[in-house]
């Protein structure tokens, strides 16, 4: 009887640990990819005297947040799913593509031009606009809008890229006129991937 209870307890704890791992929250990548041309640090030549630690060593420099023009590499849920996303431009305010395309009363258009490069081994097949959202300084968040803007061609709803291929386009949003947009976020798999890229504006 005791062995049965112990075995049941162990099985329960194992299942709980597995569920906790499955429910682990995603991560936000807010620093840009390092420049591939940046030379690696080289080791200094050995010396005969011991190097004494500095009494007041400088604190490690915090990486600067990603901004307009920066690229962030993200991974999707499928094996080999990886893209490099660049926030190329930010337009605020943005104008509708024609005289009939206007924002709702009390709102304005804003738009992000995004470049996606498939750096993975499989085919990238997604709807980028579903995985993008923006946030203002008050914490309000906004999903993409279906309207086109005059700044340039829109990102199409369904993008399929083979490895090495790329896509470029604008993704529009409608936000309150008084909102100050602070950041842009992008996730793969229509927003369901664990990793989220984040770019600061301003």
**CATH code of residue 181:** 2.60.40.1240
Q: What is the mean pLDDT of residues 50-57?
A: 51
107, part of any domain: yes
75, part of any domain: yes
Please give the sequence-ordered ranges of beta strands (E in DSSP) within 59-180, or none if there are none: 71-75, 82-94, 107-118, 124-126, 132-136, 141-143, 159-161, 166-176
Q: What is the mean pLDDT of residues 172-198?
A: 98
Q: What is the mean pLDDT of residues 70-91?
A: 98
With a CB cutoff of 8 Å and minimum separation 6, the contacts of 31 are 63, 64, 65, 66, 72
Closest CA to 145 of 119, 184, 173, 114: 173
Q: What is the pLDDT of residue 43?
A: 39
Q: What is the pLDDT of residue 60?
A: 60
190, part of any domain: yes
21, part of any domain: no
pTM for the structure as a whole: 0.76
44, part of any domain: no
Between CA 115 and CA 94 the distance in angstroms is: 18
94, part of any domain: yes
Between CA 176 and CA 86 the distance in angstroms is: 25
Number of folded domains that form the chain: 1
Domain of 171, in residue numbers? 64-202
């Amino acid at each position: 009887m005791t062995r049965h209870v112990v075995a049941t307890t162990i099985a329960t704890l194992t299942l709980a640990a597995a569920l906790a791992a499955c429910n682990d929250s995603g991560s936000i990548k807010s620093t840009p990819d390092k420049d591939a041309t940046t030379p690696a640090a080289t080791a200094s030549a050995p010396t005969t005297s011991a190097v004494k630690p500095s009494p007041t060593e400088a604190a490690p420099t915090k990486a600067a947040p990603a901004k307009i023009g920066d690229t962030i590499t993200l991974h999707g849920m499928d094996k080999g799913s990886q893209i490099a996303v660049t926030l190329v431009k930010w337009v605020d305010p943005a104008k509708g593509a024609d005289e009939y395309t206007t924002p709702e009363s009390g709102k304005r258009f804003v738009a992000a031009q995004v470049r996606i490069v498939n750096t993975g081994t499989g085919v990238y097949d997604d709807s980028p606009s579903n995985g993008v959202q923006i946030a203002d300084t008050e914490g309000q968040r906004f999903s993409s809008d279906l309207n086109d803007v005059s700044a340039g061609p829109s990102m199409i709803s369904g993008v399929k890229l083979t490895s090495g291929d790329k896509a470029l386009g604008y993704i529009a949003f409608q936000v309150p006129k008084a909102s100050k947009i602070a950041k842009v976020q992008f996730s793969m798999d229509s927003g369901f991937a664990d990793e989220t890229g984040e770019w600061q504006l301003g």
